[in-house]
Structure 1
Amino acid sequence: MGQTLESFDIHAPKAREGAECLWAQMRDMPGLYRNERYGGFYVVSRFEDVMTVLMKPAIFGSGKGITLPPPDAVRSFHIPAEIDPPEHREYRALIAPLMTAAHARAREPFVRAMVTELVDRVPIDTPVDFVRAFARPLPILVALDLLGLPASDAAELEQMVGDLHREVATGVKTGAGDRLKTYSENVLIRRRADATDPQADVVSSILLGTAFGRPLTPDEQMSMVRLILVGGFDSTSSALATMMWWLATNPDEADRLRTDPSLLDSASEEIVRFASPSTYLRREVMEDVELSGVQLKKGDSVLVAFGAANRDPAKFACPDEIRPDRKPNQHVGFGAGHHRCVGSFIAKTELRLAFEQILARFDGFRIDETRAIEYTTGLGQGIIALPMIFSRAS
């Protein structure tokens, strides 16, 4: 049994179950849905309203924290996700040049090699969790390469990030936040001695770059590395799992993509819209303002429901269907405005190459119905367990 509007809680154990129905109810009601949990917050669910919030950072700020519940007064900021313009631009400029479409194309050989290696390990005619076998390790390995860190750190990082999300969802302390902070600090100490080219990788850029006409402080550097580690794994993993679920449950569409690989780019874009891996993020109202007929006060919390906006029928025809040829597809799966996902080109490269290799290397795949598909909760609500059985193409 899914949630109701009265019981709505993004951290509940089965928060993703039936979410589409709740999003529809929120979009259809006048004004904005209001919830009294976590100190009280409004949910922005219509596409037009979501765009208003995302494009007006001076009114709907990120600087007071983007999590729900809101962070404590004493906390470590996530730079640049929790920095508002114009300061945000200074920090983002350090890493954005390494995340362009051209840089994503240049990294294709590495990404393709990782995809091939992981596909080779997928067992044939044997139950396997696609998330553990492919969707989780691929973005971790790509992120480590982007940062200039060794692939041998993957298991340790995956454990820390997983523990951190469980801590946020349950409130049970795991120490993951402190471990991740220490790991990030040690990375910077280790790399400081040999970093000579700010364009070599993201850690080098953070170490050698400047903001506001000065080098970053150790705390600023640590925050930026930590954010990339936390944010770079889960969203792409969720999109990859959604991709595989869709292919397995729509064999005709899989055949269509095999026949017409020109659709792979638009299919990747559509998967991000449908999955909305960053399902919710908080903004804080910085000055009194009216939105959708509701008078918001300075200090109010607004929860941006990206998943709801990406299923808004006022914006997307048949929004609950994955249409690989959907155009135009101006979704908010990567956000919008100043805080649009800086790694979107890398993520889409991973999706496209995963599509390409899986469709070529397997002639069949199906959901293993003896085990359950599992979803995570919280701000990002995606598939975290996808039991499957694959058969190999001859």
Structure 2
Amino acid sequence: MSAQPVPATPGPALDPGFDPFADEVLADPYPAWSRVRDAGAAVHVPLHDVWAIGRYADVREALRDSATFSSRGGIGLRVQDDPVEAGLPSSVDPPDHDRYRRLMGAQLGPRHLPRLGDMIRVRAEDLVKDLVERGSFDAVADWGRTFPVEILGDLVGLPVQGRERLPQWSAAVFDNFGPAGERADASLPLLDELVRYVGEVVTRENLDPDGMGAKVYEAADRGEVNDVEALSVVMTFLVSGMGTTSDALAQLLLLLAEHPDQWAALRANPALIPGAFEEVLRYDAPVQAFFRTVTRDTEVDGAKVPEGARAMLLFGSANRDGRKWADPDRFDVGRNPVDHLAFGSGTHSCAGQALARLEAKALLVALVGKVERIELAGEPRRRLGHVSRTLESVPLRVVPAA
């Protein structure tokens, strides 16, 4: 008699008071995401009346199904009545989103980046040379919040003064994507600063006429987008393009300091460098979740989610799903997980991902040639964010290569 398949048993149910925005979850979300995945393909979280989706295949499918998992109403937990006026092209579904995508892709798409390679490589070498000569530095202040702000700031054509605040403003935007409360309230003064900066500084007359920002406004002059839409594209450059890359670059150095064997592997085989950055993004995604509105009654691998529900798509959980990744909680620079979801997937995948990869590769290539060891010189500090993984300080020292 042939063996009969064993029916699947449901995983452990989540505690009714489970809060994905609790401080202990934000400090280390991965045990909580494991519980979400074990509990089901889509799990209702009563505390915030949201459905958490944490398995890789389900998150990827939802990201690619904008007809069912709509960005209308915004990509935060709380619904926004007019996300376009709020400056969020990521909150617009196709086909309206297509013109945003074309405009962003014209500036940041892979076809347009090779010409930037030499400039980025030279600046990366100069930064690494300076940091190695210093011997000790902070991976956040001197690396993560320096290089991408300088590169993208120049590409957009921003004045130098004031742009250094952009990573903090970006973190505040992401904090506003969570529930109302102290953390969201604390973000409001920073959001006011960002609005003032954009209104006073990011104007046609202040931008470099050869920069990406000016080209976006030229597209508005041609009627490809209106002025509000043009401004929202520039805001996307500033918020998404700088904040997430800053966080990922700081996390990169922290992980290499914490895993000296992986740094040794990179030095022994620099061909692993592109995949190493992908592994950083998979292992600790800079944005852990975005939200969608469910437009019809639907099933997520058998779990029924009702029309009108808010869905929390857990990128960070999907990237640690053992159904997709072998030994998912191990940091391995040889893994090369190019299909991770840290940049999203589908129509709303990050428009600036090619630039982020180019920056990370240039920095790592320069670092591998000059540094033998990367060591922690103090305790790293995190800033707890509603959807983002943000480091405040990572003191490091480096031992130069012989």
- Provide the TM-score with structure 2 as the length reference: 0.86
**1:260 corresponds to:** 269
* Distance in 2 between residues matched to 1:14 and 1:113, nearest whole Å: 41
- Give yes or no for the alignment of 1:190 onto 2:198: no
**TM-score, normalized by length of structure 1?**
0.87
CA contact (8 A) 1:5 1:22 kept: no
Aligned counterpart, 1:294: 303
Higher mean alpha-carbon deviation, 43-52 vs 127-136, is at: 127-136
Paired residues for 1:168-247 under 5 Å = 169-172=183-186, 174-187=188-201, 189-191=203-205, 195=209, 200-209=210-219, 214-247=223-256
Give, in whole Å, the separation in 2 of the partners of 1:74 and 1:346.
26
**1:157 alignment counterpart:** 166
Query: Are 1:32 and 2:42 counterparts?
Result: yes
* RMSD (CA atoms): 2.7
Deviation at 1:126, TM superposition (A): 6.3
1:349 — aligned with what?
358
Rounded Cα–Cα distance in structure 2 between residues aligned with 1:237 and 1:21: 25
Task: Check 1:88–1:138 CA distance in 2 against 1; reply closer, same or farther (3 A cut).
Answer: same
How far is the alpha carbon of 1:375 from its aligned partner? 4.4
1:214 positional shift: 2.6
Counterpart of 1:58?
67
Q: Is the CA contact 2:276–2:336 (under 8 Å) kept in the aligned structure 1?
A: no
1:139 is aligned with what amino acid? P
Against the structure 1 CA distance between its residues 95 and 163, is the aligned structure 2 distance closer, same or farther, given a 3 Å change threshold? closer
Whether contact under 8 Å (1:161, 1:176) holds in the other structure is: no
Moved more, 83-92 or 64-73: 64-73
Q: Is the 8 A contact 2:148 2:245 kept in 1?
A: yes
Q: Which runs of 5+ in 1 are unaligned?
A: none
Question: In structure 2, what is the equivalent of residue 360 of structure 1?
Answer: 369
SS of structure 2 residue aligned to 1:144:
helix
Quickly say closer, same or farther: Cα 1:313–1:207, change in 2 above 3 A. same
1:56 offset after TM fit, Å?
A: 0.5
For residue 389 of structure 2, what is the aligned residue in structure 1?
Answer: 381
**1:131 is matched with which residue?**
140
8 A contact 1:55–1:337 mirrored in 2: yes
Q: Does 2:92 align with 1:83?
A: yes
Q: Which amino acid aligns with 1:315?
A: K
Aligned length: 384
| 1:175 positional shift | 3.0
1:113 aligned onto 2:113: no
The change in CA–CA distance for 1:302 and 1:137 in structure 2 (over 3 A counts) is same
- 2:154 counterpart residue number: 145
Q: 1:21 to 1:87 in 2, by over 3 A?
A: same
